[in-house]
């Protein structure tokens, strides 16, 4: 590679670099901001309702027919469902490669095919949304008023705000917590009905007949047309009270005579609070694959309009804004990037001690970074933590090529050559070395591009960004750097200041020390090779023993907690417990704001659960979020009758099953009895594991039930059918919609039920009467007997099989690998039947998959580097010498992580891959010189010895630049930086150890392999594999 063209044509070189800068800066202005690359699994949630239906009925009659149709769709990664009272939620998660819009069309087609198999009483067909219910909302809004009733506040929240937000591009759904939508509730007294001989079915039919909204036609005259409008609708509770239900003894029986009619709400068993104030809370979720910051910005832009459209007494508050934490994290990484550039430039100046010599190679840093922005824009990447972290890491070594080029040109100038001559000769000499370093470093990340799963998607952008930056830096080093050296590099001065002379003595002393130690090592080669073997053993031992993790959580200043009470808890009792927990939260000094909700609202389907969402104060005013959780946990545990599961929300939510803890372990069996037998046994054993906390299960099969056993023979003799009995029960206790009030902006339900005082005691069911075919009213207890029993509160499926999920969090200081190992150990001890299938789900499953792929990925990386180096050097042996530094780097990285008590997670593993690319540069610089010296007639030992001494200073300079470039990440500067520290620690530790050992191991191994190669090359059979382009005459 000869850069002479760029040296002799400075205008060409300058304009080429200017083009890179201009288009790069333009692209930077257009790049969107995000927290992470798009790693969202395409996910669709299907919801079906059948008011009053039991969980078993919803599972068998609704969820199962839908699931059978969904299994015919291609690309499904997982399918889970939860069926509760009157509601089934089915979550379908597709492979990352699946287009969510095409998947949505397939889901709609499957729903259409399943329609004939679904119960006829469903009020609406199943609906779907492109949303992952396990994802956290990007923004929470609370709507409240100190003066207006809640149903009026709800009207503004849902009609004025939620509907408009739902139309924003990228919004998947607006969850409404504590919905208080207006409804007219008709609460009849069964005693009053019985005394007048009125069946509840008559009330239902009378309401439906009295509230109508039908087309009434048009009148056409010779000159005018008139629309005919009838006042068939009853619009509020007052209008219904005087409604005539029927006639008895010639007198009308009005609705108010047989019960109460009130202006109420559609769902009265839900509630939510903003801090301690009742409110309607809107939680906005984005569609998978969309940009969180853009979605939040679009929502915030509408808030001034919303405030103008609603009364002044209604307030809209932003409880939490995900984009603020994203911007803070991105800003911190940008600061780290700037700090890294400053440190790298400082290192170069310390070694070169010349302003012009420092500026020339330093230009490679901004040019490489700005040039990468252009490619990022073309590939639809974002300014996110991963891309910025990639740019931060590459700062330390994109400058290496320019430093090596500069150092070689300076060396020729010190020998008396002029700037132009030194630039031409020095750049020609070192061109192939830079090409080798650039290509082999960029190739390190080729295997990452083929890595599948969420980790592969996450690291794909990381690999491309670094690869592009490295290629751009190589271009800069082979074009701009030698051109600037030929024009602006100062001639070596013969007189220097005291500081320069002192530093020169220091560097000369380092070189003399290295010279003496290198001579000793070359005389004791066997000992050095034993050290190499020892590093291999240490690497293997540390790799097996170090705790392993997945994607670390960041401190985003938010805590999410599920609350759970006993399965038989009433709504009022659940509210009291929830408010007690909320009171504890409000007293914590680090809490800024919080939201609390109970009941089957939002995406929740279980009435004995609640939620707490806590927003913490800024980082400077509080400890780490994990410490806040540990302080809060025992206080919340003191609330009687309530279990609270707080968690630091994971950076990436994997899986579509929203559980009370981060990691899931699922049991499945076709035999429901066997599943329900083994699930509690396994749960108790896992709950006792010392590595786990917040262990819980979604198995809820002890909910109190009243079984109505129908005496079919007696019922038939009295003219009563099972359908009439269930219809009467549904009308009385199902809080069913029996009519609809239509207004210009909304629709409201008319709900029929018995008076709440008759809903508290199962004995009240005996007061219900059923209309027989003969027209007579038959008491329910005449045709049925009542008994109390226990039944499921929810029925869960994974795939199409019944399932039970045990979820858990790890205790502080416990790695995910240890937790998974302990759970697997429990299963080996218990030995459940073969029909019971067990598997980790969500993040735990992805962790296992990534663990299996990490070793192969690292091996593939080494193989790719070996192949490329072999091609570049036309040698089977030299790549082995170059790659010898990987073992010391591995020891240093793993030992540093162990020393700082860190686990080997995804970020740490990325650091290991980075080291593969970084540490080989030192060996390349030494071996390139040695090969050229051998061609000139030197012996291998003399050649590598001279190469080591000659390249010692550039090796030290490039290594220190890479080390200081990674130091800000290792120190964990900024919000959320703790999560990225393992990457910095691994790289710094690996560089320190590899720098120390490879300066000695590489020359010894070079001599050993050269000797072996020369020996084998004398045999005819071996010449095919150990062919040498040039064999010196003295060999």
Q: Which of the four pLDDT bands, split at 50, 70 and 90, describes residue 724?
A: confident
Q: Which of the four pLDDT bands, split at 50, 70 and 90, describes residue 361?
A: confident
Q: Which of the four pLDDT bands, split at 50, 70 and 90, describes residue 206?
A: very high
Least confident piece of the model among 2-16, 532-546, 647-661, 831-845? 647-661
- For the 510-545+874-1035 domain, the top CATH level (class) is mainly alpha
- CB of 459 closer than 8 Å to CB of 858: no
Above 60 in pLDDT, residue 603?
no
**CATH 3.30.70.1320 matches 132-326+722-731+741-761:** yes
The pLDDT of 166-186, averaged and rounded, is 90
Q: How high is the mean pLDDT of the chain? A: 87
pLDDT score recorded for residue 431: 84
Query: If you compute the radius of gyration of the chain from its CA atoms, what whole number of angstroms results?
Result: 37
Tokens 């304009």 -> residue? 15
Above 60 in pLDDT, residue 1027?
no
pLDDT score recorded for residue 741: 92
Q: Which of the four pLDDT bands, split at 50, 70 and 90, describes residue 581?
A: very high
pLDDT score recorded for residue 1029: 44
Q: For 663-694, write each residue's pLDDT tens digit.
A: 999 999 988 889 999 999 999 999 999 999 99
What percent of the chain lies above the pLDDT cut of 90?
36
- The counts of H helices and E strands in the chain are 34, 31
Q: For 415-450, write each residue's pLDDT tens digit.
A: 878 888 888 888 888 888 888 878 878 888 888 887
| Three-state secondary structure readout of 936-1002 | CCCCHHHHHHHHHHHCHHHHHHHHHHHHHHHHHHHHCCCCCHHHHHHHHHHHHHHHHHHHHHHHHHH
pLDDT score recorded for residue 605: 58
The pLDDT of 162-182, averaged and rounded, is 90
pLDDT score recorded for residue 376: 92
- CB of 752 closer than 8 Å to CB of 734: no
pLDDT score recorded for residue 1033: 38
pLDDT score recorded for residue 1034: 38
Above 70 in pLDDT, residue 745?
yes
- Could you give the angle at the alpha carbon of 673 between the alpha carbons of 669 and 679, nearest 5°? 65
Comparing 132-326+722-731+741-761 with 557-648, is the CATH topology the same? yes
The pLDDT of 21-39, averaged and rounded, is 87
Q: Which of the four pLDDT bands, split at 50, 70 and 90, describes residue 1?
A: low
Q: For 757-810, write each residue's pLDDT tens digit.
A: 898 888 888 888 888 888 888 898 899 998 888 888 889 999 889 999 999 999
pLDDT score recorded for residue 940: 85
Above 50 in pLDDT, residue 814?
yes
Query: Among 852, 872, 24, which residue's Cα sits nearest to residue 443?
Result: 872
Could you tell me the fold of the domain covering 557-648?
Alpha-Beta Plaits (3.30.70)
**For 632-783, where are the E strands, in sequence order?**
643-648, 663-668, 692-697, 703-710, 736-742, 747-754, 769-771, 777-779
pLDDT score recorded for residue 1035: 34
Element (H, E) at 637: helix 625-637
**What whole-number distance in Å separates Cα of residue 415 and Cα of residue 633?**
71
Going from N- to C-terminal start, the domains of the chain cover 132-326+722-731+741-761, 510-545+874-1035, 557-648
The pLDDT of 376-403, averaged and rounded, is 84
Q: For 261-314, write each residue's pLDDT tens digit.
A: 999 998 888 899 999 899 999 999 888 778 888 899 999 999 999 999 999 999
Position with higher pLDDT, 921 vs 544: 544
- Cβ contacts of residue 701 below 8 Å, gap of 6+? 676, 790, 791, 792, 793
Q: Which of the four pLDDT bands, split at 50, 70 and 90, describes residue 975?
A: low
Residue 691, φ and ψ in degrees, nearest 5? -85, -10
The pLDDT of 461-479, averaged and rounded, is 90
**What whole-number distance in Å separates Cα of residue 272 and Cα of residue 568?**
21
Above 70 in pLDDT, residue 245?
yes
pLDDT score recorded for residue 123: 81
Position with higher pLDDT, 61 vs 401: 61
Q: Which of the four pLDDT bands, split at 50, 70 and 90, describes residue 1020?
A: low
Query: Among 62, 52, 251, which residue's Cα sits nearest to residue 795?
Result: 62
- CB of 645 closer than 8 Å to CB of 692: no
Above 60 in pLDDT, residue 1004?
yes
pLDDT score recorded for residue 1032: 41
**What whole-number distance in Å separates Cα of residue 952 and Cα of residue 512?**
11
């Amino acid at each position: 590679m000869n850069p002479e063209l760029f040296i002799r044509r400075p205008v060409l070189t300058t304009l080429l670099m200017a083009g890179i800068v201009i288009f790069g800066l333009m692209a930077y202005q257009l790049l969107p901001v995000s927290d992470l690359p798009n790693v969202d699994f395409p996910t669709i949630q299907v919801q079906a309702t059948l008011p009053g239906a039991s969980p078993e009925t919803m599972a068998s009659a609704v969820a199962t027919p839908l699931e059978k149709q969904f299994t015919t769709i291609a690309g499904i990664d997982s399918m889970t469902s939860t069926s509760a009272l009157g509601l089934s939620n089915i979550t379908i998660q597709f492979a990352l490669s699946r287009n969510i819009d095409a998947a949505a069309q397939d889901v709609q087609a499957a729903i259409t095919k399943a329609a004939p198999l679904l119960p006829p009483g469903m009020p609406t067909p199943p609906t779907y949304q492109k949303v992952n219910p396990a994802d956290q909302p990007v923004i929470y809004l609370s709507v409240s008023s100190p003066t207006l009733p809640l149903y009026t506040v709800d009207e503004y929240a849902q009609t004025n705000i939620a509907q408009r937000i739902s139309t924003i591009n990228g919004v998947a759904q607006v969850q409404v917590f504590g919905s208080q939508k207006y409804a007219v509730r008709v609460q009849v007294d069964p005693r009053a009905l019985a005394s007048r001989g009125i069946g509840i079915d008559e009330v239902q039919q009378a309401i439906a007949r009295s509230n109508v909204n039908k087309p009434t036609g048009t009148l056409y005259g010779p000159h005018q047309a008139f629309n005919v409008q009838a006042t068939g609708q009853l619009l509020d509770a007052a209008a219904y009270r005087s409604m005539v239900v029927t006639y008895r003894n010639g007198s009308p029986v009005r609705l108010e005579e047989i019960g109460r009619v009130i202006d109420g709400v559609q769902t009265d068993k839900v509630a939510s609070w903003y801090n301690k104030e009742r409110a309607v809370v809107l939680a906005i979720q984005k569609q998978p694959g969309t940009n969180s910051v853009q979605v939040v910005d679009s929502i915030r832009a509408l808030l001034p309009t919303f405030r103008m459209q609603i009364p002044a007494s209604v307030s809209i508050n932003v409880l939490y804004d995900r984009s603020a934490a994203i911007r803070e994290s991105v800003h911190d990484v940008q600061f780290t990037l700037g700090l890294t550039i400053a440190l790298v430039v400082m290192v170069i100046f310390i070694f070169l001690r010349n302003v012009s010599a420092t500026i020339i190679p330093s230009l490679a840093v901004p040019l490489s970074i700005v040039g990468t922005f252009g490619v990022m824009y073309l590939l639809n990447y974002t300014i996110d933590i991963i891309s910025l972290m990639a740019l931060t890491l590459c700062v330390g070594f994109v400058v290496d090529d320019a430093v090596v080029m500069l150092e070689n040109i300076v060396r020729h100038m010190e020998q008396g050559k002029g700037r132009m001559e030194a630039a031409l000769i020095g750049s020609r000499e070192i061109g192939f070395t830079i090409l080798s370093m650039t290509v082999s470093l960029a190739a390190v990340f080729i295997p990452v591009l083929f890595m599948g799963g969420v980790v592969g998607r996450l690291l794909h952008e990381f690999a491309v960004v670094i690869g592009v930056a490295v290629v751009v830096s190589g271009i800069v080093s082979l074009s701009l750097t030698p051109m600037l050296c030929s024009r602006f590099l100062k001639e070596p001065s013969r007189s220097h200041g005291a500081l320069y002379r002192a530093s020169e003595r220091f560097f000369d002393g380092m070189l003399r020390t290295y010279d003496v130690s290198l001579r000793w090592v070359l005389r004791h080669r066997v000992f050095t090779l034993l050290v190499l073997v020892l590093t291999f053993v240490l690497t293997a031992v540390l790799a097996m023993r170090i705790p392993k993790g997945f994607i670390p959580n960041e401190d985003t200043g938010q805590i999410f907690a599920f609350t759970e009470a006993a399965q038989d808890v009433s709504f009022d009792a659940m509210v009291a417990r929830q408010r007690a927990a909320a009171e504890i939260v409000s007293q914590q000094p680090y809490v800024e704001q919080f939201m609390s909700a109970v009941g089957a609202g939002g995406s929740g389907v279980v009435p004995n659960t609640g939620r707490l969402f806590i927003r913490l104060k800024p980082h400077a005013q509080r400890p780490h979020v994990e410490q806040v959780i540990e302080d809060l946990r025992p206080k919340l545990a003191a609330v009687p009758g309530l279990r609270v599961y707080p968690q630091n929300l994971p950076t990436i939510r994997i899986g579509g099953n929203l559980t009370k803890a981060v990691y899931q372990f699922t049991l499945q069996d076709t035999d429901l009895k066997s599943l329900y037998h083994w699930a509690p046994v396994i749960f108790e054993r896992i709950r006792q594991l010392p590595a786990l906390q917040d262990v819980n299960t979604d198995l809820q099969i002890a909910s109190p039930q009243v079984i109505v056993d129908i005496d079919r023979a007696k019922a038939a003799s009295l003219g009563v059918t099972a359908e009439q009995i269930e219809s009467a029960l549904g009308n009385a206790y199902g809080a069913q919609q029996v009519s609809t009030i239509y207004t210009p902006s909304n629709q409201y339900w008319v709900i029929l039920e018995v008076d709440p005082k008759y809903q508290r005691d199962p004995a009240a069911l005996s007061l219900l009467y059923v209309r027989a075919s003969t027209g007579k009213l038959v008491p329910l207890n005449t045709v049925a007997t009542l008994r109390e029993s226990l039944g499921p509160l929810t029925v869960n499926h994974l795939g199409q099989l019944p399932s039970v999920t045990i979820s858990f969090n790890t205790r502080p200081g416990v790695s995910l690998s240890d937790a998974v190992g302990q759970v697997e150990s429990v299963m080996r001890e218990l030995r459940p039947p073969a029909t019971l299938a067990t598997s980790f789900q969500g993040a735990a499953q992805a962790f296992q998959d990534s663990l299996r792929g990490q070793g192969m990925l690292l091996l593939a990386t080494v193989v790719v580097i070996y192949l490329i180096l072999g091609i570049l050097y036309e040698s089977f042996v030299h790549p082995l010498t170059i790659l010898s530094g990987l073992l010391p780097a591995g020891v240093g990285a793993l030992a540093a992580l162990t020393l700082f008590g860190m686990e080997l997670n995804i970020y740490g593993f990325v650091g290991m891959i980075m080291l593969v690319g970084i540490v080989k540069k030192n060996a390349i610089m030494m071996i390139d010189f040695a090969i050229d010296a051998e061609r000139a007639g030197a012996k291998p030992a003399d050649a590598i010895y001279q190469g080591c001494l000659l390249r010692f200073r550039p090796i030290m300079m490039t290594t220190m630049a890479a080390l200081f470039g990674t130091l800000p990440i290792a120190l964990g500067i900024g919000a959320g930086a703790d999560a990225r520290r393992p990457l910095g620690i691994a790289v710094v530790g690996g560089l320190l150890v590899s720098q120390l050992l490879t300066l000695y191991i590489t020359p010894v191994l070079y001599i050993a392999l050269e000797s072996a190669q020369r020996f084998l090359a004398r045999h005819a059979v071996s010449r095919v594999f150990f062919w040498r382009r040039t064999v010196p005459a003295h060999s």
